[in-house]
């Protein structure tokens, strides 16, 4: 997989290590703003509505202070992810009832011309199965390390 | 123990793959072999072969939706859970599978 492709779905401009959000709604809005600024979505309001559609289908908190909301939406121009972290305790539906500090927002196009980006997203998700990676994501202040941790499963 | 299974979540974007990887990590740590097929937005990946199914001791379905080809597993020992269980308690789940396989063997 070429580096350019990884950079299309995930890069340092889409990482915010100091989110101001104090709740789930604000965290989703803050990350959506970032995706909009980078030109990855065309309409923030419609996108957020689509994220909440998914939220209603089941919890997106993974436990261990991490949540992965996702929106599959016509407003998504580039299938990608935005990474946000906050010191604030976000209340989020999850299996262990721990407050969430890391939010990884998946933005997925309704129709993708190729499956390359979706494949990358699935490989980023697989990295989240590893507790050591989750612990580093909660601690490191190095954006390059965050990208390398999440890229671990990409072949 | 030889485990096979399928992972599939509602959106088919993230939980499917986290569940798969969690099951693989937990099974391999306990010394089992495992093969998990995923059915996601991207389609079917790591598809189970007839041979995989034939040689399996048990089938784990970590699914939140109807999957394709469930009839392939007719006659096999099978456990079905939501993806959430595989994501949150993979080690306990693998242990449960082992208990099921062993209890059936004792009965024989």
Interface residue ranges in chain A relative to chain B, Cβ cutoff 8 Å = 54, 57-59, 62-63, 68, 70, 72, 95-96, 106, 108, 115, 118-119, 121-123, 125-126, 128-130, 153
User: How many domains does chain B fold into?
Assistant: 1
Segments making up each domain of chain A, as ranges: 3-150
Which chain A residue has the Cα nearest residue B15? A125
State the Cα torsion B67-B68-B71-B75 to the nearest 10°: -60
Q: B71-85 burial string, b = 16+ CB within 10 Å, else e?
A: ebbeeeebbebbbbb
Residue A4 in this model has a pLDDT that exceeds 80:
no
DSSP A23-92: SHHHHHHHHHHHHHHTTSBS-HHHHHHHHHHHHTTS--EEETTEE--EEEETTBSS-EEEEEEEEEEE--
Interface test with B, best of A65, A119, A122 (most B CBs within 10 A): A122
CATH label of the domain that carries residue B55: 3.40.50.2300
ipTM of the complex as predicted? 0.89
Range of the domain at B76: 2-107
Query: Tell me: the pLDDT tens digits for A16-65?
Result: 999 999 999 999 999 999 999 999 999 999 999 999 998 888 889 999 99
Determine, for residues A62 and B25 on separate chains, whether the beta-carbon distance falls below 8 Å. no
- Cross-chain residue pair B11–A62, CB shorter than 8 Å: no
Q: Is the dihedral of CA B20, B63, A65, A11 positive or negative?
A: positive
Instruction: Tell me the pLDDT tens digit for each residue of B47-64.
Output: 999 999 999 999 999 999
Topology of the domain covering A3-150:
Mannitol-specific EII; Chain A (3.40.930)
pTM exceeding the 0.90 threshold for the entire prediction: yes
Q: Are B38 and B58 in contact (CB under 8 A)?
A: no
């Amino acid at each position: 997989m070429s580096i350019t492709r990884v950079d299309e779905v995930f890069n340092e401009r889409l990482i915010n290590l100091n989110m101001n959000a104090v709740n789930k709604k604000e965290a989703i809005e803050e990350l959506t703003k970032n995706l909009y600024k980078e030109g990855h979505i065309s309409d923030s309001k419609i996108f957020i509505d689509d994220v909440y559609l998914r939220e209603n289908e089941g919890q997106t908190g993974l436990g261990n202070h991490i949540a992965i909301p996702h929106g599959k939406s016509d407003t998504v121009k580039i299938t990608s992810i935005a990474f946000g972290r906050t010191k604030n305790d976000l209340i989020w539906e999850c299996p262990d009832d721990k407050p969430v500090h890391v939010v990884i927002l998946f933005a997925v196009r309704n129709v993708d011309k190729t499956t390359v980006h979706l494949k990358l997203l699935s490989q980023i998700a697989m990295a989240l199965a590893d507790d050591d990676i989750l612990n580093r994501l909660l601690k490191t202040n190095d954006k390059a390390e965050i990208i390398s941790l999440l890229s671990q499963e990409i072949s | 123990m030889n485990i096979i299974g399928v992972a599939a979540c509602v959106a088919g974007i993230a939980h499917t793959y986290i569940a798969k990887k969690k099951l693989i990590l937990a099974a391999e740590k306990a010394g089992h072999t495992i093969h998990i097929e995923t059915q996601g937005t991207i389609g079917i990946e790591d598809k189970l072969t007839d041979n995989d199914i034939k040689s399996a001791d048990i089938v784990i379905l970590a699914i939140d939706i109807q999957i394709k080809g469930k009839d392939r597993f007719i006659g096999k020992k099978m456990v079905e859970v939501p993806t959430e269980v595989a994501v949150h308690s993979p080690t306990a789940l693998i242990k449960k599978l082992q208990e099921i396989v062993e209890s059936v063997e004792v009965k024989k």
